[in-house]
Amino acid sequence: MLAHAGGEDEFPHSTPYAYARSVAAGVDMLDLDVQLTGDGVLVVHHDADVDRTTNGTGDVAAMTYAEVAALDNAYWFTADCVCRDQPDEAYVYRGIRTGDVPPPAGASPDDFAIARFRDVVERWPDLPLNIEIKGTGEPAIAAAEVLAAELTELDRLDASVVTSFDDTVVEAFAGFAPGVELTPGLGLSTAWVLDGEPLPDGMRILQLPPEFQGVEVLTPEVIARSKEAGYLIWVWPNDRSWENADGYRRLLEMGMDGLNINLPAVGVEAVRRFTAAPTALPASLEEMDALIPVVEVSRVAQRAAPILGAGAPSEGPVVATPGFVPAPDDRRFCWAVEVVNSRPYPVDEFEEVVVAGQYFTAVEPWAPADAVGPLRVLIEFTDRIAEAGSFTEFDEVDGGAVADAAATLNALVDSRCLGRP
């Protein structure tokens, strides 16, 4: 699990603050873009200039490190975009670098600067590195030489994967630091995807987007061929439609070996849920029924309402709209709902809550992204009730949150699994 540039949709791009937050979220690897300043210092920065993210202007290659480091690298960051048309209050990290605004707890003004490569690497000595050398031609090859020297000095050659869009830069780096894990550039990657031309000896990691310039890249054929050749696929979702829990889950189901994503906390949770789920995905309602264990109850109730959906007993049992079929992405969730709704349910009120909690947990691995939050509220609430042995410790505010979660979840089930308005 990698957070692209530290998780650019959540935190300012390529800042130490972003890396600190993504590490706290649980990423396995740092993702770094590097290039040289005009005075030869290797810095972590994506764009050739500083205009898009900072309060300055100019090309990195034309500026000294001191000039670059003084800039506010969070100046144009907002929760929705790196852009210039938002109200002032949207720029939540602006001014921290320059000392005009206090930093968040545990952070410093330096965490919002354009950082030296070695400073980032030394701060997280135990994390492996995914490094892209930016640019092309001689300037990028010069950066490759400095990168090789710094990785050698920092003893991180064995903990690094290095790439560039320019295959000649990757080849040059290999000459400076033989034996480092490499990822092919655009030319070699394209030749593999489109023509099946094998990668050079020693290359085994492909870093690919789902699509590129209107061409689908991660086709079933490309994925299968890559697996057969022994290649690993690390995906970077350049289409924002993938940047959510459901998108990450779908990429994992497609067989991706690594995710280089913009929402690290969401991605880490998606991986946790995916790895906790059974490796063999149920292909039918019957297989889902066999997968979810029956919770034994002391005395079975004759209930009119289900556990999930059709929110209240007065609404009667679950009845789908005639002819309605859930969407393919929802079908396993709907099978899980149908299974738990068919299970024996207790008469005792306390036991009812405990049993419901176990079934909520059984449904969670199959839930769509917008059902996960309400399910977690219900699971945590029922877990606390089970531990306490009664309802008495829970105040009205907590009960209101649970009621809201239940209503939201029931509405999702009704619309997506039953076709009910």
- The predicted-structure confidence for 261-289, as pLDDT tens digits, reads as follows 999 999 998 898 788 766 667 889 999 99
* For residues 298-309, average pLDDT: 70
Strands 181-182 and 129-133: unpaired
CA distances from 91 to 96, 99, 229 (A): 11, 15, 46
Q: Give which of 20, 51, 46, 42 is closest to 33, Cα–Cα.
A: 46
302 — pLDDT class (breaks 50, 70, 90): low
Strand partners, 163: 132
Report the pLDDT averaged over residues 136-156. Answer: 98
Q: Is pLDDT above 80 for 75? A: yes
Reported as a single tens digit per residue, the pLDDT across 15-39 is 999 999 999 999 999 999 999 999 9
What pLDDT shows up at residue 202? 86
The residue-averaged pLDDT of 205-211 equals 97
The one-letter code for the residue type at 61 is A
**Which pTM does this prediction carry?**
0.72
pLDDT confidence of 312, banded at 50, 70, 90?
A: very low
CA dist., res. 97 & res. 109, Å (int): 4
The predicted model gives 321-345 an average pLDDT of 89
Give the H or E element holding residue 232. Answer: strand 232-235
User: Rounded CA gap, 403 and 347, in Å?
Assistant: 20
- Looking at residue 390, what is its pLDDT? 74
Name the one residue in this structure whose structure tokens are 């079934």.
359
Q: Per-residue pLDDT averaged across 404-409, rounded? A: 90
Per domain, the residue ranges of the chain are 11-127, 183-276, 285-416
Distance, CA of 145 to CA of 126 (rounded, Å): 23
**The pLDDT of residue 282:** 86
Q: pLDDT at position 317, please? A: 54
Mean pLDDT of the chain: 91
Question: What is the fold of 11-127?
Answer: TIM Barrel (3.20.20)
Secondary structure letter of residue 211 according to DSSP: E
pLDDT in tens, 348-402: 888 888 888 899 988 988 888 788 888 988 888 888 888 888 765 444 445 578 8
316 CB contacts (<8 Å, ≥6 apart)?
A: 304, 305, 310
For residues 307 and 406, is the Cβ–Cβ distance under 8 A?
no
Contact 6, 15 (CB under 8 A): yes
